[in-house]
């Protein structure tokens, strides 16, 4: 085995996983901890001390001197505050890490956004160990730190992070599924949600990046005329990966493998300089943490290769943006409920779940849309390559027909094939690949999972996944309630009395009716056509599907009473927690737009205008010397454009001054529009001003890495 191939066998070397648990903990403690991790059982507090001791030894064997509670504050980044293991006892240095240090931390975290939940005078925030996401080692050039994934909440217990609601939503879904599966005669089992997050990103040579204040400060180019060659030839997609990029990818993967992250697929994406990394799917909470580490690794490793990794949703105008496809499914007792299955009984479970998801997405499309709303993603949703801002579901033609046969058994169209009787008939084989070809849908069924494609490349998966779990929990719960009622009415034995294979006809008839009614009401959200067609938004409007074109509009869903009631009912967020999030997201949006606006003004005034003026003066000089009529023409044109640039600048500054009020009123469109007008003028100038004077690296420089 060579050094290179050995990297793969180092998988999980820096994670306190199964092997480390067995090596560093007693048998009894190891067993208890594993039960907590695998089955989500509450942690036995009496083992905390021994676990802490074991973790410290393991971490020190790997060079760690410090530990940190690692958490996901509302900034969208990850947070850490390091403490050393070192303590003085009677003047002597010893290495210490107690059960208390492991279970709970109290970072002075008053500067994290809390949306009014925590005022500065009671600034205490607490971090609480999440044993379901294992501790790991973070290395830097001359040392290492033990990281303990934690949830972050206020003194009152209110959540201040992105992990807590996710964990609560998983509990909600678990509770609903237990109710439903009991009706199907299944014994109590563990609900497992899974996530595979495909991560798209751009790479740019660091030298170009340094010369672009817009990329440095905002992550996207605020100016830049299109390059003659962009992605028209589509020659980048799945193309040969150049050596420089491959060695970057190799280093990223090695880092991820060590952290137990199963990075699996790598390839060139459609836009030049755009790439994708996809891991194998994992348990949802872990996969969500892992995606944060994937983004960290991409950024850190890029530095070492003289590159910068751009995780912004739309770094370059005119070529594709970057998304993060969230592949989600849910298993019960180890069986994926979104897998059609092989007998009528499994099919019935599958169809119930399918209908529940359709119902959930239709009822709460506004929340799903809100969960992916951000200043960056506004440039992507609805743009040509991205899923539209209208949330709809793609199920594929075959499943669409199945659903129709359930809903309209008597329609003439289906007479030949007849009704599909739930729990009696089997489904036609549904090929996984055939269902996967529609790339224009924001929410697609892909054989045994749903792929939520609207999330932007920089988003933390937990937001969209929290919403998805919660809305599905509600739909499953509602269907279960209906089913229980119908069964009671039919005089069936108590649900607990059911055994697999002994379902009565009444059960299936009741289920069929419930699913029919659900489909009737919610099938409008199913759309199997081309989401990029101009006709679709019109058709969607006719169907009454919401279409929130920008972040403030989308976020309004968080202020909706019905949504607050939903989150409260399922114990995912209190009204105040939801409100605080609405406030935080709006503020973040306003700040981002303000930074972009200010940066655009700065670049236009101090870089672009001077360059254009020099060009103008040179043309003027030549005209004065030669009197050539060509020069006169060029002069007039330049004069007009410079004038327009100045005006555009003033208009943008003006809009920015009104931005805070505008966002508070749910509308920042003026600043956004002025920014893009200013850009248009500048991009026009970029195409006429002498290349040697243009102060910013151009698209053609930045986009072609090799």
Nearer to Mg ion, 280 or 687 (CB): 280
- Minimum CB distance to ligand ADP, residue 338 (Å): 7
Is residue 260 within 8 Å of 135, Cβ to Cβ?
no
H-helix or E-strand spanning residue 308: strand 307-310
Pick 114 or 327: Cβ nearer ligand ADP: 327
Residue 265 interacts, among ligand ADP, Mg ion, none and using kind-specific CB cut-offs from 5 to 8 Å, with: ligand ADP
CA distance 602 to 2: 52
List interacting residues with ligand ADP (CB under 6 A): 194-196, 198, 265, 278-281, 325, 327-329, 336, 436, 448-449
User: Toward ligand ADP, which CB reaches closer, 448 or 660?
Assistant: 448
Q: How far apart are CA 105 and CA 207, in angstroms?
A: 40
Q: Quick one: which segment of 217-225, 324-332, 508-516, 618-626 binds Mg ion (CB under 5 A)?
A: 324-332
The closest of 466, 472, 525 to 357, measured between CA atoms, is 472
Q: Are 678 and 649 in contact (CB under 8 A)?
A: yes
CB nearer to ligand ADP: give 190 or 543.
190
- Choose between 126 and 452: whose C-beta lies nearer to Mg ion: 452
CB of 53 to ligand ADP, least distance (A): 36
**Closest residue to Mg ion in the complex (CB):** 325
Residue placing its CB nearer to ligand ADP in the complex, 281 or 623: 281
Instruction: For the beta carbon of residue 695, count every other beta carbon within 10 angstroms.
Output: 18
Q: Which is nearer to ligand ADP, 454 or 600 (CB)?
A: 454
Task: Return phi, psi of residue 392, to 5°.
Answer: -140, 170
Residue nearest ligand ADP, Cβ-based: 196
Q: Which is nearer to Mg ion, 198 or 615 (CB)?
A: 198
CB of 199 to Mg ion, least distance (A): 11
CA-based nearest residue to 283, from 372, 408, 190: 190
Min separation Cβ 539 and Mg ion, Å: 24
User: Is 564 within 8 Å of 575 (Cβ atoms)?
Assistant: yes
Reference 213, options 654, 697, 651, 694; nearest CA is: 697
Nearer to ligand ADP, 194 or 371 (CB): 194
The bridge status of strand 125-129 relative to strand 143-154 is: antiparallel
Half-sphere exposure of 166 (CA within 13 A, CB side): 29
Among Mg ion, ligand ADP, none, residue 329 binds (CB under 5-8 Å by kind) = ligand ADP
Shortest distance, position 432 Cβ to Mg ion, whole Å: 13
Number of residues interacting with Mg ion: please give it, by CB under 5 A.
Answer: 2
Q: Measured from the CB of residue 442, what is the shortest distance to ligand ADP in angstroms?
A: 13
**Residue-by-residue DSSP string for 372-384:** T--TTGGGTTTST
Q: Pick between residue 265 and residue 690 the one whose CB is nearest to ligand ADP.
A: 265
CB of 465 to Mg ion, least distance (A): 16
Q: Strands 64-71 and 79-84: what pairing? A: antiparallel
Q: Is 325 near Mg ion (CB under 5 A)?
A: yes
CA dihedral 428, 446, 547, 597 (to 10 degrees): -170
Q: What's the rounded Cα separation, in Å, for the pair 676 and 589?
A: 17
Dihedrals φ, ψ of 282, to 5°? -140, 175
Q: Pairing relation of β-strands 143-154 and 64-71?
A: parallel
Q: Are 355 and 440 in contact (CB under 8 A)?
A: no
Nearer to Mg ion, 79 or 372 (CB): 372
Task: Report the nearest approach of ligand ADP to the CB of residue 329 (Å).
Answer: 4
CB of 444 to ligand ADP, least distance (A): 9
- Contact between 211 and 61 under an 8 Å Cβ cutoff? The reply is no
If contact means CB under 5 to 8 A according to the sort of partner, which of Mg ion, ligand ADP, none does residue 163 touch? none
Partner touching 110 among Mg ion, ligand ADP, none, CB below 5 to 8 Å by kind: none
Binds 332, which of ligand ADP, Mg ion, none (CB < 5 to 8 A, cut-off by type)?
A: none
Residues in the chain: 706
C-alpha span between 594 and 572 (Å, rounded): 32
CA dist 232 → 95, 245, 423, 514, 587 (Å): 60, 22, 49, 48, 37
What is the closest distance, in whole angstroms, from the C-beta atom of residue 295 to Mg ion in the complex?
Answer: 17
Stretch in the footprint of Mg ion (CB under 5 A) among 43-51, 260-268, 321-329, 654-662: 321-329
Which partner, ligand ADP, Mg ion, none, binds residue 532 by CB below 5 to 8 Å per kind? none
Is residue 528 within 8 A of residue 400, CB to CB? The reply is yes
Binding partner at 194 among ligand ADP, Mg ion, none, C-beta below 5 to 8 Å by kind: ligand ADP
Compute the least distance from the CB of residue 451 to Mg ion, in Å. Answer: 5
Helix axes 284-304, 163-183, angle to 10 degrees: 140
Residue 278 interacts with which of ligand ADP, Mg ion, none, CB < 5 to 8 Å by class: ligand ADP
Contact of residue 448 among ligand ADP, Mg ion, none (CB under 5-8 Å per partner type) = ligand ADP
Of 132 and 671, nearer to ligand ADP (C-beta) is: 132
**Residues 459/467, Cβ–Cβ less than 8 Å:** no
3-class SS letters over 642-677: HHHHHHHHHHHHHHHHCHHHHHHCCCCHHHHHHHHH
Report what 196 binds from Mg ion, ligand ADP, none; CB cut-off 5-8 Å by kind.
ligand ADP
Smallest gap from residue 327 Cβ to ligand ADP (A): 3
Contact set with Mg ion (CB under 5 A): 198, 325
């Amino acid at each position: 085995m060579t050094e290179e191939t050995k990297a793969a066998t180092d998988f999980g070397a820096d994670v306190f996983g199964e092997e480390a648990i067995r090596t560093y903990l007693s048998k009894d403690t190891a067993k208890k901890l594993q039960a907590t991790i695998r089955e989500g059982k509450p942690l036995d507090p009496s083992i905390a001390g021994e676990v802490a001791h074991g973790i410290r030894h393991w971490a020190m064997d790997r060079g760690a001197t410090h530990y940190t509670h690692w958490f996901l504050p509302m900034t969208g980044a990850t947070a850490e505050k390091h403490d050393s293991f070192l303590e003085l006892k009677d003047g002597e240095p010893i290495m210490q890490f107690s059960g208390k240090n492991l279970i709970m931390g109290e970072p002075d975290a008053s500067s994290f956004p809390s949306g009014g939940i925590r005022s500065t005078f009671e600034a205490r925030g607490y971090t609480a160990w999440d044993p379901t996401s294992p501790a790991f080692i973070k290395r830097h050039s001359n040392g290492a730190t033990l990281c303990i994934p934690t949830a972050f909440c206020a003194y009152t217990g209110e959540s201040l992070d992105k992990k807590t609601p996710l964990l609560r939503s998983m509990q909600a879904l678990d509770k609903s599924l237990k109710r439903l599966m009991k009706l199907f005669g299944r014994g109590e089992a563990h609900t497992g949600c899974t996530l595979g997050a495909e991560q798209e990103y751009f790479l740019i040579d660091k030298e170009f990046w340094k010369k672009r204040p817009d990329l440095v400060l905002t992550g996207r180019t605020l100016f830049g005329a299109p390059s003659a060659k962009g992605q028209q030839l589509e020659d980048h997609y799945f193309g040969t990966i150049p050596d420089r990029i491959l060695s970057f990818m190799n280093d990223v993967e090695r880092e991820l493998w060590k952290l137990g992250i199963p990075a699996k697929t790598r390839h060139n994406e459609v836009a030049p300089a755009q790439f994708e990394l996809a891991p194998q799917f994992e348990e949802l909470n872990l996969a969500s943490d892992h995606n944060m580490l994937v983004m960290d690794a991409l950024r850190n490793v890029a530095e070492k290769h003289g590159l910068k990794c751009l995780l912004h949703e739309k770094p370059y105008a005119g070529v594709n943006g970057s998304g993060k496809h969230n592949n989600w499914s849910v298993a019960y007792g180890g069986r994926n409920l979104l897998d059609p299955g092989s007998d009528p009984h499994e099919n019935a479970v599958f169809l119930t779940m399918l209908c529940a998801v359709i119902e959930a997405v239709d009822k709460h499309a506004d929340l799903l849309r809100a969960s992916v709303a951000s200043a960056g993603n506004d440039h992507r949703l609805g743009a040509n390559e991205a899923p539209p801002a209208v949330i709809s579901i793609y199920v594929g033609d075959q499943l669409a027909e199945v659903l129709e046969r359930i809903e309209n058994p008597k329609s003439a169209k289906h007479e030949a094939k007849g009704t599909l009787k739930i729990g009696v008939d089997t489904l036609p084989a549904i090929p996984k690949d055939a269902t996967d070809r529609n790339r224009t849908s924001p929410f697609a069924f892909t054989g045994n999972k749903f792929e939520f494609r609207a999330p932007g490349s920089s988003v933390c998966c937990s937001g969209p996944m929290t919403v998805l779990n919660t809305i599905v929990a509600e739909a499953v719960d509602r269907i279960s309630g209906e089913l229980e009622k119908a069964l009671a009415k039919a005089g069936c034995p108590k649900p607990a009395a059911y055994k697999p294979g002994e379902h009565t006809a009444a059960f299936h008839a009741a289920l069929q009716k419930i699913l029919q009614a659900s489909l009737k009401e919610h099938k409008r959200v199913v759309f199997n056509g081309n989401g990029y067609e101009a006709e679709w938004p019109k058709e969607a409007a006719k169907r009454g599907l919401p279409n929130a074109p920008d972040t403030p509009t989308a976020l309004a869903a968080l202020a909706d009473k019905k949504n607050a009631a939903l989150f409260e009912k399922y114990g995912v967020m209190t009204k105040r927690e939801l409100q605080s999030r609405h406030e935080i997201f709006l503020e973040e949006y306003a700040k981002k737009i303000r930074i972009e606006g200010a940066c655009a003004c700065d670049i236009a005034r101090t870089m672009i205008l001077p360059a254009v003026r020099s060009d103008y003066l040179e043309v003027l000089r030549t005209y004065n010397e030669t009197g050539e009529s060509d020069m006169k023409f060029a002069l007039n044109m330049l004069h007009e454009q410079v004038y327009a640039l100045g005006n555009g600048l003033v208009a943008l500054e003006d809009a920015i001054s009104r931005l805070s009020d505008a966002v508070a009123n749910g509308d920042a469109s003026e600043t956004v529009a002025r920014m893009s007008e200013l850009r248009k003028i500048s991009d026009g100038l970029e195409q006429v001003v002498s290349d040697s004077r243009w102060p910013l690296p151009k698209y053609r420089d930045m986009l072609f890495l090799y």
